[in-house]
Structure formats: structure tokens, C-alpha cells
């Protein structure tokens, strides 16, 4: 994984087998992990599937403000629209939803307070 500056914005280079694509970190709303694949949900509504685990991206994205709220979800707090405390679900501005694990609720409470 490479990062570089492009016109003042930090980009993330995602390598997926034989193809590579650039995604601006600020445009990533949500990451969803599924075994050895991670799906990037973008602000534009597009999705990009990458053949890496979510843990592969975790340490890098945490330095950019992303939060790991579940074993399978990592969110960009700038896109949080609503928090349902009864069902422990976050709704993002695009309508995507992320579950929150019991053990990671404390990280979310710091964000809400």
C-alpha cells in the first residue's frame, strides 16, 4: 500500500491483483470486512472490493481519524448521520449502516460526547 500527496489531498493506493486504483481517503465513508476481502464504500455511492483484510488498512486509516467499531466495520466519523443506541447501529450519510460491537462502544461514546 502506498500513500502520496496529490494536490493537497492524501490518497490511498489500493492494489487489487493486476489492477490498481486511487481513492481519496476523505471520500471513504465505510469499510466492511468479509474474511479476506474488504469493501470500500465511497461517498459517490461506488464500492471497491480489495483482496486484503480490514486489519491490513486499520493502522494506516486510524492515523487519518477512522474508527474500528466492529470486527467487520471501520467508519469515517465525518460521515456519521445517526446513532441508534438500542440496536447498536450507526447510519452513515449515504444510508450505509455499520454495527457496533459491545466492546467497542467506548470509542464511539468519545466521538458522540
Q: What mean pLDDT is reported for the chain? A: 84
Q: Over 80: is that where the pLDDT of 58 sits?
A: yes
pLDDT, average across residues 79-89: 88
Compute the distance between CA of residue 38 and CA of residue 48 in angstroms, rounded to an integer. Answer: 8
Domain total of the chain: 1
Q: What is the CATH number of the domain that holds 107?
A: 2.40.50.1020
Provide the pLDDT confidence category of residue 11 given band limits of 50, 70 and 90: confident
Per the structure, the complete domain to which residue 45 belongs is given by 2-112
**Which alpha helices (DSSP H) does 34-93 contain, by range?**
54-62
Strand-strand pairing, 9-16 and 47-50: unpaired
Question: Tens of pLDDT along 20-50?
Answer: 777 888 899 999 999 999 999 999 999 999 8
Amino acid at each position: 500500500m502506498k500513500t502520496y500527496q496529490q494536490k493537497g489531498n492524501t490518497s490511498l493506493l489500493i492494489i487489487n491483483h493486476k489492477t490498481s486504483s486511487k481513492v481519496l481517503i476523505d471520500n471513504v465513508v465505510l469499510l466492511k470486512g468479509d474474511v479476506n476481502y474488504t469493501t470500500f464504500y465511497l461517498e459517490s455511492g461506488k464500492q471497491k472490493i480489495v483482496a486484503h483484510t480490514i486489519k491490513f488498512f486499520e493502522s494506516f486509516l486510524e492515523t487519518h481519524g477512522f474508527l474500528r467499531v466492529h470486527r467487520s466495520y471501520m467508519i469515517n466519523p465525518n460521515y456519521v448521520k445517526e446513532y441508534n443506541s438500542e440496536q447498536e447501529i450507526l447510519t452513515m450519510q449515504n444510508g450505509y449502516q455499520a454495527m457496533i460491537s459491545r466492546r467497542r462502544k467506548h470509542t464511539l461514546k468519545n466521538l458522540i460526547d
